[in-house]
Amino acid sequence: MSLISVLARAEAMATGRATPLATARHRHLSDRPLVFVPLTTAGEVGAPLGALVGTDRDEPRLLAVPQPRDRDLRFAFLAELAQVVLPYLESYADDTETEPATRNREKSEVCADAPQIVVANTSAVEYVRLLGRSTRFRRTAEDDPDEPHPVPARVPLLGRWLTHYGERARTPGSALLLSATELLTRHWATGQSNLEDQHLGALLAWVEPPEGMTGIEAARRAESHRGPDGLLVFPPAGPATDPVFDNTVLAPAAARYDAGITGAGEEIARLLAGQMRPTWDAVWRSMDLLRELPEGAHVADRWKRDRWSYTSHRDRVRAGEPPQPRRDDAVSAAQKLAGRETAQVRLEAQEALDDPLVMAGRRLAGEAFAGRVDRVEMAMSEGKVPKPRPLVTVLTQDRPHLDEDAKLYRALPDGRTQQARFVEWAGSGAVLLRVVNGMGRGKVPDPGTVPEEGDEVCWTLFEHAPRGGAGLPEPEDTPWTHGGPPGAAAATVTADTPTAPVAVTESPDLATTEDYL
């Protein structure tokens, strides 16, 4: 934790209320997000118990599995989930824009907007991945008539989409799949630890304590206040359930269901809805709070990358490509990792540029400095065609870690980035630097491109638009020592059978009779 966020947490602890960590909203929020609140069965992997899902906050669709050990009921749940989620995901597929060609890319089509799924916490994000993993290799009766446990149509497709969303969520700054806890913790500091912030109810209690209560009291109540029935008034945000609920309420109801008592299924659905509804409301409330912050200037840029991600998966599905493999081959794994590293650096730079509070943290860390321009001295470079290289002295209270000839960057009003080089410390708190670009082509700098005396400027030691390292070689040029040429066998299957609707190259998972227990 950086010192500035420790201080924010200490302030929150003293005031009894969360304190801001950002003055802008750093994540895109869709006008029509799909909220998904799943519950899972304790001890069973990927056996859903129920879910609230939908785009209308007043009318969530309730899905419930009265007996999670029954495979048919689980499949029915997934089929219903596919009925809600797939039309939503597909509703963005046909509204496209044309991207003009650039040096590296041909003219291409990108979806004008993309669907966004919002869940409660990071475990729910993992659960989306898990649901995707558990369903994308399933086979329908149409795929394989001999399949002993065929899933309803479209379930494998749901799995592929959930996998894509789960995978994309690992890219820093992406917003296709968001969790409410991450959204809130990015923008507010509470007076408790990171671990406790994972509890959505407690976190929200800090950000917005009810009248007459401090954050501590409200969070404490959200964590452990139980009603006369012994159940938590604010059930956990899932996917795991409260063990007390399992043992005292759900187990007897499930026994009634197993005994064939009429109405037991409906009773279970009602019980599950009661456990999920507070979380559903909390997720929507979190988004309300986030919407009160103005959107950061670079958020649209990152959302565009999400739109690209959505578009390319749409294309893969349309082209009939097989589902994502269980494990990435070496080349794709290296590419993903490199992409995420670049995204992380880009995110950090963009958030700092969009938000003075984030920049304050970078300034405290010595990675940027702000101050007033004290002197500007025109100078020219040596060489055949001398170029303007003005020398600027900036007075700052900050203490940047400046090495000899360090590169410096600042954002110009038109959005471009200007570079400079550190020359020397011209006295205490006075940085002398030489501006090296962004001044146009002429002998005289374009107007407004050189700081003037009295201007307030902020220079960073980090790049504003970091690029990844050198590109990786094409898969076919990758030596076998690095896992290439990879997936040769799989590639031929798709190439030979272009008409196959979905060429399943990986076998479905094994099942045992104990799935019924």
User: What residue ranges bind another protein (CB under 8 A)?
Assistant: 1-4, 6-11, 13-14, 20, 23, 41-46, 130, 133-134, 191-196, 216, 223-224, 241, 243-244, 246-247, 251, 326-327, 355-357, 359-361, 363-364, 397, 509-512, 514-515, 517
Who's near 283: CB < 8 A, 6+ residues apart? Answer: 35, 37, 118, 119, 120, 180, 200
Is there a contact between 88 and 309 (Cβ–Cβ < 8 Å)?
no
Identity of the residue, 121 or 134, whose beta carbon is nearer to another protein in the bound complex: 134
Identity of the residue, 178 or 358, whose beta carbon is nearer to another protein in the bound complex: 358
Task: Tell which residue, 412, 451, 445, has the closest CA to residue 432.
Answer: 451
For residue 157, which amino acid is it? L
| Token pair listed for 422 | 């550190």
Q: How far is the CB of 108 from another protein (least distance, A)?
A: 33
Whole-number Å distance between alpha carbons of 144 and 358: 54
CA 123 from chain centre, in angstroms, equals 13
Whole-number Å distance between alpha carbons of 370 and 397: 8
Encode burial over 285-322: b for 16+ CB neighbours within 10 A, e otherwise.
bbbebbeebebbebbeebbebbbebbbebbeebeeeeb
Identity of the residue, 10 or 380, whose beta carbon is nearer to another protein in the bound complex: 10
Q: How far is the CB of 206 from another protein (least distance, A)?
A: 12
Q: How far is the CB of 434 from another protein (least distance, A)?
A: 27
Q: How far is the CB of 471 from another protein (least distance, A)?
A: 28
Task: Tell which residue, 184, 99, 167, 92, has the closest CA to residue 131.
Answer: 167
Identity of the residue, 301 or 506, whose beta carbon is nearer to another protein in the bound complex: 506
Q: How far is the CB of 191 from another protein (least distance, A)?
A: 7
The DSSP 8-state label assigned to residue 178 in this structure reads E
Task: Tell which residue, 364, 374, 369, has the closest CA to residue 426.
Answer: 374
Q: How far is the CB of 9 from another protein (least distance, A)?
A: 5
Q: How far is the CB of 66 from another protein (least distance, A)?
A: 14
Encode burial over 244-272: b for 16+ CB neighbours within 10 A, e otherwise.
ebbeebbeebbebbeeeeeebbebbbebb
Identity of the residue, 337 or 444, whose beta carbon is nearer to another protein in the bound complex: 337
Q: How far is the CB of 292 from another protein (least distance, A)?
A: 12
